[in-house]
Structure 1
Amino acid sequence: MEKSPHSFPSGLRALVADDHDLIRKSIAKVLVRLGFAEVLECHNGRDAKVILDTQAVDLVICDLDLNFISGFEVLDHLRSLDTGSDTPFMIVTGAADKDDIVKAANKGAEEYMVKPFTPEELEAKIIKMLNQYHAPGPILGRLREAEKMLIAGQFPEAEAVLNELIKMKDTPRARHLQAVALVKQHKNAEATALLQANIKTTPNFLKNFVTLANLYIDAKDYKNAIHALTLELELNPKQPLRQIKLANMLLKEGNPHAAIEHYRLALLENNKNPEALYGMGTAYALVENLEKSIYYFKRYRRNHPKDSRPLKAIVQFAEKTGQLRIAEIALLDEKKSHPERLDSYIILAEFYFKHEKEEQGFQTLEAAIKRKPDFTQAHVVMAQHYLQLKDLESAIRVYQRYGNITKDPVAYMMLAQLYIQLKKYAQAMATLHQGMDAKLDPQKVFSLLMLCTYRTKQTAKTFYIRERLKQLNPNEEIPAPIAEVEQLLLARRRAKRGFKKVS
């Protein structure tokens, strides 16, 4: 019988983070073939970080070029965790960039693969990594056992294992895990004292600072959290996520100048980090350097073109400082440079409306509709502004045009509601019937139809529609006069019968 090439246990769990579906699935197949019980998959760094925060994994295979958070930052985050931080990590890259590979190795990645690769090459590297990981010495083995207990919620048991370990060999990692066990049991004062003592004894063991800073953050003690993070980053500045966390706290504490420096250090590690770029834009705005603020917001927008927040932030800070022309120029420049990004038209139109430039606002929305006739948001914003001006007829024309173009049920609903406001009940009912043909929610249709027939004194129709509505939703709240419509119907019938007897 052929001996298995690996000695690691079965039933392991892996995380694969790659935005290429085919590569991600092919990696997962190799892992399943190797006996992994579960393979967690995600296509961006943000989701990978969430998984690492909430679930224990035995292996991470991660692409470097991920959306939101890069593979480097996922690796940084894993290595900063209180438990499971030495989980084997393999980077996957589409380019054989030696500097990237060296950088990943320095951050603690055990292996790398350059695309394209064969399943056999991948399998060999996974076996090598896991064989090494699952053959630790007795001290390391017991430390990992304690970590697994902490992850599983067995806190007193983990503490007992750690106490035994410290008697065998007093290590910074064991002392740190003791503090983590105390944190897990909500003994924060004891944990804080232990971490502070650990820092005095072993100031170069960074996890003491990480856990201590997180404790202060949870307690909303930002002054001490900032101090702990600052000490940590003096020892190891190449941690973009921690630099950003510190910068965010400095902003919250009203120190934008110091925040700028830490955002800058984060950008040295990853010049496309969205949180750092957005933070820089905000910090420079707070020190009233709108020119640099706009520069960083535009960089953010360039790297994340579907995110409208930087454009809205430019408007917000320009309005706050009274520099309206700067905001207008920035939005016009965005619209001109990237006419296909229609959100800039909406933000510019809303800016014009807010500052009483109705003509420019309507022209901007018409330009957006010309580029994309079925652009819902442009029609809605235009109609809503007409409504603010109390020009219901113009709002109706906007929704009529939108409905004719798109047959969107929402357009029919909005039109019907506007007709009802104008007491044009016949048009409202005709529009609602069009809406039903366009698959408008029957419950919404019947609710408005019932109102129209009641106000046009069509008592029998009102009664019929009310009964249909009650069948659709027995809990539907019926307005008081309509709830008693059968009494009106009976009264009308009695009146008719009385009229016949007299005649």
Structure 2
Amino acid sequence: MEKSPHNFPSGLVGLVADDHDLIRKSIAKALLKLGFSEIIECHNGRDAKTILDSQVVDLVICDLDLNFISGFEVLDHLRNLDTGSDTPFMIVTGAADKDDIVKAANKGAEEYMVKPFTPEELEAKIIKMLNQYHTPGPILGRLREAERMLIAGKFVEAEAALDELAKLKDTPRVRHLQAVALVKRHKTAEATALLQANIKSTPNFLKNFVTLANIYIEAKDYKNAIHALTLELEMNPKQPLRQIKLANMLLKEGNAHAAIEHYRLALLENNKNPEALYGMGMAYAMAENLEKSIYYFKRYRRNHPKDSRPLKAIVQFAEKTGQLRVAEVALIDEKKSHPERLDTYLILAEFYFKHEKEELAYSTLEGAIKRKPDFTQAHVAMAQYYLQQKDPDSAVRVYQRYANISKDPLAFMLLAQLYLQLKKYAQAMATLHQGMDHKLDLQKVFPLLMISTFRTKQMGKAWYIRERMKQLNPKEEIPAPIAEIDQLLLARRRVKRGFKKVS
């Protein structure tokens, strides 16, 4: 491979994970200056993890404080991969916290940078990291070459290279990669036997447990997967992603109390981890401790205010255990504490409707509309409930008010659809024309307008609308009666001619 002036290969790929656009762009600029051929940028830990799962990179520069998954967890994930796990990793932090730096070093980060930093400081550390990585000893160099073959899908060649390397120097890492090659060739029984033997001879080589657990998970053999992960985490518990994976499997197996302990260990590493917080809520609910379940669901909601799942889960488990008042109080408390979170109103109104407290449900939806007069979902929910109560006139009034307040094209569309449902075709046509005055999409208008005119026996207008619709979208499917409108018009003309002859 061609070398750069700095003694590392050219054409490298870098991954930069930072939610601060300016810093991310400045790091990418420094990498391009050093000859990197591709820079992958992302602004949260979840995307960084996905990229590392699907693409080979030669360097990772990652902020510690990322959304969804922290920089520590991204580092854990990289170091647990079957291949490419020793890719150079630099942490970036906004605070010179020695504990964080030591923790990152213990997890396998080669370098760190404290913001703000100069381009020269960054370049010097990158050059140092890459030169060390790309000048390995002969055994390590051949191991990395075998890994590159595995990543490139050259499984047979990789297996042959690893067999040769094992003859030269048999190590736990070589045997582990041999097992990985067997997995890639779908020889899972042989891979499992090799990993089990490797664990027996070298129990502190944790990647054996990781790969073995992944084989069992893929085969949906959760009992053995739980056993392998448990052994791994007994030796190295500070792995939040692995703790969560184990907890999730324990929860699936119905072992809520064991799951709680592993979610708790994950939260010790990152007390805002969303999956661990949500898992704790689910586990405590399964253990029938609704008070603690609500506590963790609310913690999750605090960090992810746009996610409605924890509120719905509170209602679900409260209904399941007959503790309706607990759910009601939790939702009312959420609404009072955060009145701007309008999804709470919808969930509370749905809860009231379900438990036959219609007046409270309507007043809750009105509260949402008062806060946001053009809140579509509240209007839709109210209209739908009126329709369920067989009160279409009230549903019509809801949509009329929505249209008058918002002038939103969607409001006219919803009202027209309701008129059609009620077979009030003249009102539907008038509403659609109003919607067109407010820039309602013609491709949405024409099918409804065509049906309305057809049902009111305005065949000529229906034919004209059909032709306009076909011009706008030739692929639009025409309802069967309207598709035959030409024959209906022709038949009508024949009838009229017949009357003229008789006269």
Give the structure-2-normalised TM-score: 0.97
Q: Deviations over 1:411-468 (max 9, x none)?
A: 2121112112333222111111122233333233222222212221212212222222
Tell me if the contact between 1:16 and 1:28 (Cα under 8 Å) persists in the aligned partners: yes
Q: Could you say which residue in structure 1 is the equivalent of 2:124?
A: 124
Query: SS where residue 160 of structure 1 aligns?
Result: helix
Shift of 1:401: 1.8
Please show how residues 91-490 of structure 1 align to structure 2 within 5 Å: 91-490=91-490
Deviation of the 1:502 alpha carbon: 4.5
SS at match of 1:90: strand
Measured after TM superposition, the shift of residue 406 of structure 1 is 2.5
SS of 1:26 mapped into structure 2: helix
Contact 2:4–2:10 (Cα < 8 Å) also in 1: no
Between stretches 177-186 and 336-345, larger displacement belongs to 336-345
Asked if the contact 1:383/1:395 (under 8 Å) is kept, the reply is yes
Question: Distance in 2 between the 1:284 and 1:60 partners?
Answer: 37
Three-state SS of the structure 2 residue aligned to 1:306 is coil
**Shift in Å, 1:6:** 1.9
SS in 1 for 2:75: helix
State the Cα distance separating 1:410 from its structure 2 match.
Answer: 2.1
Cα deviation, residue 4, structure 1: 7.7
Q: Is the CA contact 1:5–1:127 (under 8 Å) kept in the aligned structure 2?
A: no
- For the 8 Å contact 2:4–2:35, the answer to whether it is kept is no
CA drift at 1:5: 6.6
1:159 Cα deviation after fit: 1.1
Amino acid at match of 2:81: L
1:179 CA displacement: 0.2
Which residue identity is paired with 2:28? Answer: A
Whether the 8 Å contact between 2:6 and 2:127 is mirrored in structure 1 is yes
- 8 Å Cα contact 1:63/1:71 also seen in 2: yes
Gaps of 5+ in 2: none
For residues 396 and 119 of structure 2, the distance between their equivalents in structure 1, rounded to whole angstroms, comes to: 61
Per-residue deviation, 1:255: 0.6
State how far apart, in whole Å, the 2-side matches of 1:458 and 1:250 are. 65
Q: Deviations over 1:360-416 (max 9, x none)?
A: 111111111111112121111111211221221111121122222332222212111
SS in 1 for 2:213: helix
Q: Mark the CA change 1:113 to 1:302 in structure 2 (over 3 Å): closer, same or farther.
A: same
More off after superposition, 42-51 vs 6-15: 6-15
The answer to whether the 8 Å contact 1:209/1:232 transfers is: yes
Give the equivalent residue in structure 2 for 1:6.
6
Which residue of 2 is the match for residue 17 of structure 1?
17
Q: Which residue of 1 aligns with 2:38?
A: 38
Question: How far 1:475 moved relative to its partner?
Answer: 4.0
Separation in structure 1 between the aligned mates of residue 331 and residue 148 of structure 2, nearest angstrom: 52
Distance 1:179 1:185 in 2: 10
State the distance in 2 between where 1:266 and 1:193 align.
30
> What amino acid sits opposite 1:316 in the alignment?
Q
Deviations 1:307-360 (A, max 9, x none): 111111111110111101000000101111111111111111111111111111
What is the distance in 2 between the residues matched to 1:120 and 1:369? 55
Secondary structure of the structure 2 residue equivalent to 1:265 = helix
Between 323-332 and 350-359, the greater mean CA deviation after superposition: 350-359
Secondary structure of 1:373's counterpart equals coil
Q: Which runs of 4+ in 1 moved over 4 A?
A: none
Distance 2:480 2:34 in 1: 68
8 Å contact kept, 2:159–2:178: yes
Q: CA deviation at 1:160?
A: 1.3
Listed one character per residue, the Cα deviations across residues 186-238 of structure 1 (whole Å, up to 9, x for unaligned) are 11000000000000010000000000000000000000000000000011011
Report the Cα distance in structure 2 between the residues aligned to 1:270 and 1:413, rounded to whole angstroms.
47
Q: Report the residue type matching 2:347 in the other structure.
A: I
Give distance in 1, aligned partners of 2:268 and 2:174.
33
Q: What amino acid sits opposite 1:131 in the alignment?
A: N
* Alpha-carbon separation, structure 2, partners of 1:112 and 1:493: 85
Task: In structure 2, give the amino acid aligned to 1:60.
Answer: V
Secondary structure of 2:101 counterpart: helix
* CA apart distance, 1:270: 0.8
The range that moved more, 222-231 or 425-434, is: 425-434
For residues 61-76 of structure 1, what are the structure 2 equivalents within 5 Å?
A: 61-76=61-76
2:57–2:87 contact (8 Å) kept in structure 1: yes
Q: Give, in whole Å, the separation in 2 of the partners of 1:165 and 1:488.
A: 82
1:257 match: secondary structure? helix
Letter in 1 for 2:95: A
Q: What percent of counterpart residues are identical?
A: 86
Give the AA of the match of 1:37: S
Q: Does the CA-based 8 Å contact 1:60-1:88 persist in structure 2? A: yes
Cα distance in 2 for residues equivalent to 1:433 and 1:240: 58
Contact 2:92–2:114 (CA under 8 A) maintained in structure 1? yes
Q: Which amino acid aligns with 2:7?
A: S
Specify the SS of the correspondent of 1:15: strand
Give me the whole-angstrom Cα distance separating, in 2, the residues matched to 1:53 and 1:420: 50
Whether contact under 8 Å (2:61, 2:89) holds in the other structure is yes
SS in 2 for 1:81: coil
Distance 1:68 1:251, change over 3 A: same
Q: What is the root-mean-square deviation in Å for CA atoms of aligned residues? A: 1.5
- Residue identity opposite 2:453 in structure 1: T
- In the alignment of these two chains, the number of paired residues is 501
Unaligned residue ranges in structure 1 (runs of 5+) = none
Conserved in 1, the CA contact under 8 Å of 2:314 and 2:327?
Answer: yes
| Paired AA for residue 452 in structure 2 | C
